[in-house]
Structures are given as C-alpha cells and as structure tokens.
Amino acid sequence: MTLPLALADLDEIPVDRLNGVGDQRRRALSEVNIHSVFDLITYYPRRYIDRSKEAPIVDCVVGEQIMVVGEITKVTSRSTRNRKSLVEAIISDGTGTVRATFFNQAWRKKQLLEGLTVALFGKIDEYRGAKQMANPLIDFVGDKTGRIVAVYPQSEKAGLVSWELARWITEALRRCEERSIEDPVPESVRLEYGLVSRHDALRLIHEPAELSDVQKARNRLVFDELLRVQLTLRLSKLHREGAVRGIDHDLDKFLSAAFFSSLPFKLTAAQERAVMEINADIAKARPMHRLLQGDVGSGKTLVAFQGLINAVANGHQGAFMAPTEILAEQHYMGLKEMAEGFEVPDSQTLTGVRPLSIKLLSNSVSTTEKKRIIRQLKDGSVDVAVGTHSLIQSGVSFKSLSFVVIDEQHRFGVEQRAKLREHSREDGRWPHLLVMTATPIPRTAAMTVYGDLDVSVLDELPPGRIPIETKWVSTPEAVKSAWNYVREEVKEGRQTFVVCPLIDESENLVASSAEATHAELIRGELSGLRVGLLHGRLKASDKELAMEQFRAGLLDVLVATTVIEVGVNIPNASAMVVLSADRFGIAQLHQLRGRVGRSSYKSRCYLVTEDSITEDAVRRLQALENSTDGFELAEVDLELRGEGTIFDQRQSGRTDLKLASLIRDRLWVERARSCSESLVEGHETIASNPMLGKEIEWFISARGPDAENLWRG
C-alpha cells in the first residue's frame, strides 16, 4: 500500500503498536482517551519551552522568577518534624546545581527519576548557601535537544509524563513519513487561506523549529476541526431536505393576524421577524428545522403558539414537548391562557368554529384521563398536546401531527427528537420542528453547534420589563440585608424564590440543601412567613400542590432546587436568593434569575457565597452583576468553560474541538462555514472529492449514534 494514510486509517491502528506501549502503558493512555494512533497525534501540546531562553544555573539570581533546564542527579525523600513529606531533587545543567523541594507531594519520589531532563519554573531562593526552588512547576522534556520543546498535558492518575508522550508521538509521526498523511482539503482552499498541508501541520504542532511554526500548524488543524463539524451538519441538513417530505400549510388559512390583533400589546420587531420566518417555512413541503433562541422573557412561547394554531387551522395537530413535569405544566397553563376565547375553524359544528383543544399528557395526569387523551390524539379531537417524554411513549399516536415544538432542546437527545417526528405520522411525512432555548448562544457557537438548523433570534424584551438588579453577597452583614429585603417585599405583597443546589445535605459538597435550608429559614431569617418547599424528589402531587400554592399567593417564599430553572412564570415574584451561587454556571444563574422580573415590579436577585471561592466563580458572579444581557453573558460563559463535544460526548468520550476555540477562532469558524457551503453546494464538489467524503463518514461513525442520527434529524 502506497496511498497516503487517512485519519480513519490512523484511528484503526491501536496505540500499542508503538514501541514501549505494553498493556500497562496502553491502560494509562486510555485514561486520557488515547486508544489509537489518531488519538495520540491529536493529543496536542499545552505549551512550549523555548530553550534558547533558559538560564544557566550559574547565572541565576536569588529572587528571580526563572526557567532552568537540567538533569536530575539525586533524589531524596524524608518526613519533616510535623510528619509532612518532603521530596528534594538536585538538578544540574553543567554550569551549576539547584535544589527543587516539594512539600506534601510524596508521589514526586516515584516521578523524579535520576537521569531525567526536566524544565523547572519558579523563584530562586537560597537555603544554607545553595540555590533552591520551592514547589516549582516542573515539565519532563526527556532528551529533547531542539530549540522549541513541546510540553504535553500530564496525568498523575495515569502516570503519564510529557517526555513519554513526546517519544511515542515522534515515533508515530516518523512511521507516517513513508506514506504521508492524507490531505482531503482542496488545494484551492489551502491556497486561499494560506494553510500548510495536514502532514506538515501535524509535524509542526509537535516538533516546531520556531514558535511561528506552531501558529501555522494550529491554523490548519483548527480549520480541519471546524470544517469537519460544519460539513457534517450541513450534509445532514441537505440529506434531510432532499430525502424527507414535510407538510405544506395554506397561508390563506393562517390565524396569526387574528390572534395577534386580540392581544393587549404589540409584538416586538424580533417576534414579528421570527413569526414571518416560521410561517414561510411551514408553507413549504420541506420540513422546517428551526432553532428559536431568545433571552429569558423575550416571548418565545407566544411565537411558538402562533405556529401551533396555524397548523390546527390547516386541519392538523401540534405537540409541545418540555424536559420536566413542572415546565410542561407551566407551558400547558400558559398556552391555555393564550387560547382563552380563541376559536379555530371546524366544519362539523353549526357555527363553523370551535374552541382550541389543548391537553396535558404527563405523569401527573390520572391513568383514566391519560387513556382518554391518547384516544383523542388518535382521533384528532385534541388539537395540541403538551407533555414531557410521555409524548413519545409507546401507544401515543396522532391523527395528523404537523407542528412540533421542543423547549430547552439541549436536554433531549437527537434520538428523542427523531422519535417524536418519525413515529407521529403514518404517511412518512415529517412534521415541522421548532426547537427553543432560553440559553442564548454566541453567534460562533450557534453556527457550529446548530449548523444544521435555521436560526431565529429574539434579541428584544417586551416593553415594560424592568431589568433585574443582581447583587453578589458574601459577608454576614450583606447576607442579612438580603433576608431583610425579602421580608420587605413580602410586606408589599410580593413573593420570593430561594434556590439551593442540593436536595439533601452532602458530606462531599459544601453547599446549601433545599430541605435543610427550608427548616433553617422557618426557624430563623424568615420565621413567621409562609415558606414552601419544591424539589425533584417530591411526589408529583406534592410538587403540583407547592407550585399551585405559590402561584395562588398562598406562600410568601418558595425554597426550591433548580427544578424552577426554566419556564416557571410567577409575575408576582420580585426577589430571588440563590445560595451557594458559586456552584452554578453563568447560563444556569441567568436562567434562574429570569424567574423574577416578569412584571412591572422592580426585582432583585441575590447571589450568596462563602468568602473564599475560586477565581472562575468570581468572574462568573461579577459578570452576572454587571450584565442582564444573556447573549453577552453567553460569550463570557463560553470563554470560561471552553468547548468540548459538538455531538453528544456521552457516546464516545471524544471531543470534536481539541484545538479550536469558538471564542478565539471566530475568523476560522466563518471560513469553515463558508468553505462547507461551497463544498456541499449541489452536492457536486464533495462528491468529486471521495477522500473528504470518506473522512466525514468516518467522523460521523466515530462520534457514535447521536452524530449518526443527524442524518435522520
């Protein structure tokens, strides 16, 4: 075989084919998800050491932060007077020696072996007339003598060190030299963007001669990662549009205008735009596949409702699926309120119209009622079904489902979405799909993660909404003022949410629990107030009762877990206190505080933490204090969390973006998207490039069922 090696070929070669990788090292590599040669050569350096800038030990000055490179000549280990471990290593570079001391790191004795070459980063001190570094950063560079040395992520748990990884990667690349590594990206694209070949990129990222080589290599490999994802999503969309029929709805029968004219307010410009986009989609026989994203309170449900009534007006049915019982019930009540007094055409009645029929199908519905609703869905007498996973359970079928809304769709797998659509009609046609999220997505992430969907954005809030004031509090005095504010709001006739991250006490997490907090507040800060409790382990009837009491104003305060994160709409709630707020992410905190500020009342959210929290937590909380713009916060969140899998990580443990950053690499996201458009236009260009087509097939199959199901929607 003389053909170049494809990534799929490298993925089929087990890593233990390399010298020095026996059973023990193979198991160690599997701990960091390295199973094949492909995994190994895409295990990228975390940084680089420029050995031209290393300082000779003889020239090191006490008090300086410096890097030295040398050989370990001696290692000792002992216990101090207070029974703590102390490991000491002597490092020599031929010009002098320095002692590296490690306190309370007994495992260093096994790691620091005489004869190894290491790079030390730290502050030079003096101890008994000799140079010393206390707890320096240490990298194992082996026998690398080049000017630029790659340093790899090490795993103490797996017992992997940088120089070992470098040795295996060097061997793998050397053994690829004879056949070289296949490059399926057209030469015209490489020339347009100034990209080196894939083979050169993989060599330069691991063995750069100059630091400038690293950027050249990174540009190419980042582009590859993003292009694979974009092509996968775009091809899935092309397949869906070409292979699947939808249901075209008659625009003349649409009831949007009549519905909107009955409202006591005007739509925002963003809502009007989204309505036009959705209605244009469902008028076609091609199934809609649209994402409706908007900040908390931007009016997504209203936009979705008009799509549902237009489906019903055309003689079909709608379904609205939510991830939790509470959210499903909330949407059910919201849709019923919108439908109050609204009528749809029905030639079977004397008047030619009838009330819109909306039913809730969830575990809280009695068995008798559930059976009745399932019969009515099948005979068409129920127009819109609202529910959770119960909508896709065995035995549930629709007479003519043509419009599906899935809320907070990231909580459903691709398989579940496909099941709802494919099992809903006997004629093989797909209903139109609208997926909604109240978690704003940065534009680059939306282009990458949702590249197979058309996107509508609601970036305006309805008039009259007052921005929520957010305060981060950590001192006892500040926390006390938060509880005083809650009491003042209750005196004014308004209500408060108190949110905890856990249900029960946990020895492993220092975080407030709902049940303990509920008991403490009743006895302490909120004594005398009507305080309810809501969490996921309560029986469905108890959860429903707690929400109903809070909604009716029979409770002043509701202590809850994150079951109230999305969808819960209590306009009278004007305050929220989130305990152990550093345990939550930005998106979740933004969602939570969106449960207040849903009326013209001034609203406030307190984020309560201990005095000492991580630096990342500080940045999250400061961002929430400074902004109520969900899209701005989404950018901060993405920057803090980084990116991982685009497709479901649970399936394979692999990450789709090992190098690419949706924050730092916006330019390359744009370029990959543009390139994918030209490569799949008419399906001709990619068809004439079998190498690229095979690579995308491999990429999809390697990512497991969720990626493969993209072909089915």
Yes or no: say if 289 and 452 are a contact pair by the CB < 8 Å rule.
yes
Summarised one tens digit per residue, pLDDT across range 139-180 is 777 666 567 888 888 776 667 878 889 899 999 999 999 999
Please give the pLDDT value at position 537.
78
Mean pLDDT of the chain: 84
pLDDT above 50: residue 259: yes
Please indicate whether residue 337 or residue 503 has the higher confidence score (pLDDT). Answer: 337
Q: Which two tokens stand for residue 141?
A: 């560079």
Please indicate whether residue 264 or residue 643 has the higher confidence score (pLDDT). Answer: 264
pLDDT above 50: residue 710: no
Delimiting residues of CATH 3.40.50.300 domain(s) in the chain: 251-283+299-437, 469-627
Delimiting residues of CATH 1.10.150 domain(s) in the chain: 1-46+157-182
For the purposes of burial, counting CB atoms within 10 Å of the CB of 696, is it exposed (0-12), middle (13-18) or buried (19 or more)? buried
Please give the pLDDT value at position 501.
81
Q: Which two tokens stand for residue 622?
A: 């400061």
Question: How close are the terminal C-alpha atoms of the chain, in Å?
Answer: 38
Q: Which residue matches tokens 């072996």?
A: 113
Please indicate whether residue 630 or residue 672 has the higher confidence score (pLDDT). Answer: 672
- If one counts every other C-beta atom within 10 angstroms of the C-beta of residue 87, the result is 21
Going by C-alpha positions, the residue among 270, 266, 292, 296 that lies closest to residue 281 is 292
Average the pLDDT over each of 148-152, 381-385, 620-624 and give the range with the smallest value: 148-152
Arithmetic mean of pLDDT, 392-412: 79
Which residues, at least 6 apart from 559, have a Cβ–Cβ distance to it below 8 Å?
A: 498, 500, 514, 517, 518, 521, 531, 532, 533, 534
Compute the distance between CA of residue 216 and CA of residue 26 in angstroms, rounded to an integer. Answer: 31
CA distances 146 to 52, 108, 203, Å, are: 9, 26, 14
- Across the strands, what pairs with 429? none
Summarised one tens digit per residue, pLDDT across range 564-573 is 655 567 889 9
Please give the pLDDT value at position 315.
92
Compute the distance between CA of residue 66 and CA of residue 60 in angstroms, rounded to an integer. Answer: 8
Average the pLDDT over each of 21-25, 340-344, 659-663 and give the range with the smallest value: 659-663
**Three-state secondary-structure class, residue 386:** strand
Which residues, at least 6 apart from 536, have a Cβ–Cβ distance to it below 8 Å?
A: 503, 561, 563
Residue 569 identity (one-letter amino acid): N
The values of phi and psi at residue 611, to 5°, are -65, -40
Arithmetic mean of pLDDT, 528-551: 86
| E strand or H helix at 433 | strand 432-437
Whether domain 1-46+157-182 has CATH 1.10.150: yes
- If one counts every other C-beta atom within 10 angstroms of the C-beta of residue 510, the result is 9
Summarised one tens digit per residue, pLDDT across range 43-54 is 999 888 887 777
Arithmetic mean of pLDDT, 332-338: 87
**Three-state secondary-structure class, residue 377:** helix
pLDDT above 60: residue 426: yes
pTM, two decimal places? 0.67
**Three-state secondary-structure class, residue 49:** strand
Whether domain 48-151 has CATH 3.40.50.720: no
The CATH code of domain 469-627 reads 3.40.50.300
Yes or no: say if 534 and 561 are a contact pair by the CB < 8 Å rule.
yes
Delimiting residues of CATH 2.40.50.140 domain(s) in the chain: 48-151
- Write down the CATH superfamily of domain 251-283+299-437: P-loop containing nucleotide triphosphate hydrolases (3.40.50.300)
- If one counts every other C-beta atom within 10 angstroms of the C-beta of residue 418, the result is 18
Which region, left, alpha or beta, applies to residue 394 given φ > 0 means left and ψ of -120 to 50 means alpha? beta
Average the pLDDT over each of 38-47, 523-532, 645-654 and give the range with the smallest value: 645-654
The values of phi and psi at residue 150, to 5°, are -80, 140
